[in-house]
Structure 1
Amino acid sequence: MKQKLLIDAIEKNNIEWSTHALQRMLQRGISRAAVKNCICEGELIENYPDDTPFPSALFFGKWQNQPLHTVIAYDASNHKVFLITAYRPDEKHFQADFKTRKK
């Protein structure tokens, strides 16, 4: 998944925020700006090219010195990003770098 395509879609406001994702973001204190920053400035740490209906990916970023993960899907034919979820990773599931899953 090419991050430049995602950035271009986001800059054109071609991002879909599901009600569920927005509710979870509100509960977790994560803003839309934080999510956009994570996708545009963050690092792609897991790629899921075979996901359906669209390929998806996990991004790692930092917002206000806190680690942040966002999971997005990308519809290349419509140049649209779909936010699946956003959360703050923890050391129960990830190594101290918050990029590597624990086995």
Structure 2
Amino acid sequence: MKITLVKKVLADGEDCDKCKDVQRLLERGGYMGRIDRVMVADERNPASSGWMVAQHYGIDTAPFFVVRRDDGSEQVYTVFHEFLHQVLEAE
């Protein structure tokens, strides 16, 4: 399984508040090591990788997680606690 976190960086260069909160929860729970890739949707760069991924999946909120399972299936989670319970705590 591969997990990608997509977070938003605001025009002032700071992570969005919700992204900061989620990252803090991931770190506090010892889960950051399970995140394979972090992509940034940068408000200063509409062509940034995070915006491309968000557009691909039709997501307009951040942060979100893309989980690619070993069988090739993918699931997008926009609610952190759902992701936590269904993915991180389920293994």
Give the alignment's TM-score, normalised by structure 2: 0.29
Greater percentage in helix: 2
